[in-house]
Chains A and B, each alone.
Chain A
Amino acid sequence: MIRRHPWIIPASFLALPILVYFTFVILPTLNSLYYSFTDWVGYGADFNFVGLANFEKIFTDRLFSNAIKNTAIWFLLAIFAPTLLGLTLALALQGKRKINTLYKSLFYLPICLSPIIIGIIWVWLYSPKLGIVNIFLRSVGLDQFATAWLANPNTALFAVFVAWAWQQTGLNMVIFLAGLTSVPTPLVEAAKVDGANYWQTLIKVIIPMLRPATVVVLALTAISALKSFEIIWVMTMGGPFNKSDTLAVFMYSESFRKFKMGYGSSAAVILFLMTLVIIMFYFRFAARAEELYD
């Protein structure tokens, strides 16, 4: 493709997709920015331009700082837990044994389930009297740890996070497994011949070769952590006492429950800016990740 073409031909292929993409993705994104400077309530056509008032207000809003705190906890847990677990599973299951195929399939089965359904199922698991988590704790004599996981302000956020990580781990495992297939076998063999044990090979050869996959996993996990709404909504609706209220839940509640659409838009804009940082980080490092896409 060295030769350049008259622009009309590629344009004829690109016009319709770009029109749809622009109208329903780019335009609304820019519009959100606009609404964040207004006091629109969600219905009717009249609203006022209020400048930066929404942003001034949001940074003094106790609920917002609470949501930011919960999002930060969620985000940090997300960066480590499902990533390391996914990597461990991928390393353990990368061999060609028949049984590995079965194990892999079962570990990534949660990917094909809706967060709604995952939430519903995990609510039963955490049920105070009948949930299997407490049944198990009681059966091994750890009664003092049994609690109403989703109603206890100290555990709610973490309990929901575990349900979310249940799905994310499988996805990360799949991407790491794809990354592992691109680690050249001769390299690993050479390390073994040179007398490296498994851990040395892992740290010095395999992990560095997994860099592209790691970039993808971290970016996807980070973005998915920031925007996860459904599973929290199903399991706790952000409660109790807003203890599991993340930025995505806060944005929804303010806009669609309290009908403060202008104010909600400013929360959405802040969420978007956080995502933008991750996207920029991703494109900065993704050049090295190119081979994963081929």
Chain B
Amino acid sequence: MTSAPAPIPDRQCPRGAPLPPRRRGSRRHRPAEGERFSRAHWRRLLGTALLYFVLTIMLILFMTPVYGAIVTAFKSQAEVSAGGYWTIPTRFAAENFERVLDPEDGNLGLYLQNSLLLTIPASLFSIALGTLAGYGLGKYSFKGDGLLFILIVAGMFLPPQIALIPVFRLMNDIGLYDTLWAVIIIHTAFGIPICTLVMRNFFQVVPNALREAALIDGANEYSIFFRIMLPLTLPALAVLATLQFTWIWNDFLWPFILTQRAESRTVMVGILNLTGQYTVDWGGQAAASLIGSLPTLFIFVFFQRYFIRGLTLGAVKG
């Protein structure tokens, strides 16, 4: 009984496919005689049940903060002040969202716009530069290429604190302090290591035969890059786009250091400012937090596959 692994009953059918006719009517696939009620079978079943029981408890604990943010955001101020912080709202109220988006009040609309104007170009620039560097390092070999690669990739692990003060000064000196450009440039530069790593690994596995065939056909190095290599990179670009967008959108430290006025404030800096303004207004804070997380939640829901691939590929900054 125990020496050979017991066959696992196959209860799954391909989705949408009709059930095979001979199974129709039978509720459950019948395991081999004697196996179903054996002690080993029950022990395994009990183990699985216990595992999922523990996992479910952990998941409930894990999701409590998210639950709290969602229910608080949709609750009216009257209900919140009546003490019902952690209960499900009796009616869904939009007033918190209206308040934080109101230009006279929370002004989150402007900050969202700033964050988009920062995150999109910075993501694009860092990916473009990383693609160039990744191609140079992945498809050519030259003296010192290994050292150069390590120097660039090491940048992935640099704590931003080491560059904080000099960048603050540099941006002041070149007159970009308190503009979105300062933050765009810095995120472009700090994004180069991860983008180079991913693209270099990607180009390394693109068959060289492709390049050589094109060379024989008389294509030059640049038309090979633009016409043959770039179209192949789409999956890697998608991985990097989700990664860079999430990381730059969520970043706080750089815009906090490099901007000052409301006109150049990003959404994370704006939300933190709002918590000062709305000290006891949890509804407003929760609504702002939800709005600020929407773009990255969107990526999480629809591009999860690419995002996870990015996290494990380049194994990323936290």
Contact = CB atoms under 8 A, between A and B. Distances in A.
Interface string B146-174: 00101110110111111111111110000
Given A106-B59, A106-B62, A111-B311, A132 B141 contact: no
A189 B4 CA distance: 11
A1 interface: yes
A120 interface: yes
Contacts of B314: 293
Given A25-B190, A130-B85, A220 B289 contact: no
Contacts of A135: 86
B277 to A, nearest CB: 13
Nearest to A19: B129
Nearest to B150: A283
A103 interface: yes
B129 A168 contact: no
B135 A269 contact: no
Contacts of A89: 58
B68 A20 contact: no
B167 A28 contact: yes
A228 B160 CA distance: 10
Interface in A1-47: 1-5, 7, 9-11, 13-14, 16-18, 20-21, 23-29, 31-32, 35, 42
Nearest to B83: A130
B20 interface: no
Interface residues of A, number: 97
B249 interface: yes
B166 A167 contact: no
A17 B165 contact: no
Interface stretch (B30-38, B96-104, B232-240, B292-300): B292-300
Contacts of A175: 311-312, 315
A114 B59 contact: no
A224 interface: yes
Given A124-B85, A171-B318, A17 B132 contact: yes
Contacts of A268: 159, 161-162, 164-165
A111 B97 CA distance: 24
B150 A92 contact: no
Interface string B114-135: 0000000000000001101101
Given A171-B311, A279-B157, A118 B65 contact: yes
A17 B133 contact: yes
Interface string A84-123: 0000010011000001000101111111111111101110
A154 B168 CA distance: 35
Contacts of A42: 165, 168
A27 B152 contact: no
A216 B315 contact: yes
27 contacts: A4-B141, A5-B141, A10-B136, A13-B132, A14-B136, A21-B129, A21-B133, A25-B155, A25-B158, A29-B166, A31-B169, A32-B166, A92-B55, A110-B66, A112-B297, A113-B296, A120-B272, A121-B68, A121-B69, A125-B64, A168-B318, A251-B161, A256-B257, A268-B159, A268-B161, A272-B161, A282-B157
Nearest 6 Cβ contacts at the A-B interface:
A224-B318, A24-B189, A13-B136, A114-B250, A31-B166, A28-B166
Interface of B: 5, 51-52, 55, 58-59, 62-66, 68-69, 72, 83, 85-86, 129-130, 132-133, 135-137, 139-143, 145, 148, 150-152, 154-155, 157-170, 185-186, 188-190, 192-193, 196-197, 201, 205, 208, 221, 225, 246, 249-253, 257, 268, 271-272, 275, 282, 285-286, 289, 292-293, 296-297, 299-300, 304, 307-308, 311-318
